[in-house]
Amino acid sequence: MHIWKVASAESGMTLNAFLKLKLGDAYSAKQLKHAIERNLCRINQRVERFASTRVANGDQIEWDNDKLQFLFASSQLKFEAKRIIYEDADLLVYDKPAGINCDTSGIVRLIHQKDPSLKLVHRLDRDTTGILLFAKTDAVLHKMIHLFKTFKVKKTYYVIVDGAISKEKGVIDNNLAPLHKYQGQTVWGQATGSKGVHARTGWRKEKKGQDCTLIQCYPVTGITHQIRVHMSEMGHPILGDYQYGRRFICSYQPSRYLLHAYEITFPHPSSEKEIRLKAPLPSDFKQALDHLRLI
């Protein structure tokens, strides 16, 4: 961890330029911008995600160099056989790590190291970890997509949210729509009137901490950023999700939002036998549970 105090001569510099000045040629401007957008920099103890932000005289800049090195290592992830949760003639189920997009340059490129014919069935957000399904043929892909569309696939996520939730369980049911862009990403939120796409998420409290809560979420639909938006609308954004939560009660600041696709249940596309699979919690999630005394 690096900590600097902005001098009067440095006041007015962009955050990116300030970090480049302090770190020299260790990282490119593009790498620094990427790291800032991934929550690795704080100004006066608050996460700052805009590289263009101007620093002021006396500002305290905190830079997490250890997590930065992990970030760039994760961008070169290789296929790991130990992450296979399930495999048969039709499907491969992989335990997705954080920091990789569900697109052709991300998880698809990685999984094709195992088998170039594998086809992505559904998606998880970049920093969401856990269960991800791949089909081995077009026929299986179409069957799995149909199962998702007809709500035959049941999903359970573990989430650590900000604030102590008093209720034991609940359901959020509304329409969501894209609202605007933030850091190059589309931000979703509640749609007005009858516009948008229907989204429904059930949730249940697992354990309440002093200023945070561990919950299970059961998304019925699969809208972009659905759980993240719904938790934010409850007034309890996911810890580490600075896209949907800017002010947090809890002081714990993870380098990613703590959302994990833990369990999935569905009828097998060929045998129709019920398949129930689980992905173990990743190490950073378990560390957060321990630190926040949610175990």
133 Cβ neighbours under 8 A, 6+ residues apart: 91, 92, 93, 120, 121, 122, 144, 264
Counted residue by residue, the chain has a size of 295
Task: Supply the DSSP symbol for 49.
Answer: -
Task: Supply the DSSP symbol for 137.
Answer: S
The sign of the torsion formed by the CA atoms of 48, 51, 53, 56 equals positive
Cβ-contact 129, 285 below 8 angstroms? yes
Q: Rounded to 5 degrees, what are φ and ψ at 95?
A: -90, 95
CB count in 10 Å sphere of residue 122: 17
| Tokens coding 104 | 């052709």
The answer to whether 125 is a known catalytic residue is yes
Secondary structure element (H or E) that encloses residue 177, with its range: strand 169-182
Active-site position among 59, 64, 90, 125: 125
Parallel/antiparallel/unpaired status of strands 154-162 and 185-190: unpaired
Cβ-contact 267, 152 below 8 angstroms? yes
Enzyme catalytic residues:
125
